[in-house]
Amino acid sequence: MNNKVLINLYIPNLDIYYDIYIPVNEYVWKVNALIIKSVEDLSEGVFSSDKKYILINIETGNIYNPNDIIINTDIRNSTKLTIVEVKKGYSSV
């Protein structure tokens, strides 16, 4: 396996899809933070990084544990993911 995978990311707040390479040797929380920052930059501030988001597999409904490493999940090339805002009181662990 290469050190990156190409995912298809859907941003429901913006109704936009992005194809993004993510590193397989990083924690989900770190990749999530990088994705959020990138989407905020690309949307010119319309998408806010001030909120908390989780990564979800669109096809399986799997919510990823922030402490997992990408290579240890089912995220592979062409995986369809979305990020959803976490409401108050939600615990992902």
Give dist(CA 79, CA 59) in Å, integer: 8
End-to-end Cα distance, the chain: 28
What's the pTM value of the predicted model, to 2 decimals? 0.87
What is the amino acid identity at position 22? I
Higher-scoring residue by pLDDT: 16, 91: 16
What domains sit in the chain, N to C, each tagged with a CATH number? 4-85 (3.10.20.90)
> pLDDT band for position 30 (50/70/90)?
very high
Spell out the alpha helix ranges (H) of 1-93.
28-42
**DSSP assignment letter at 34:** H
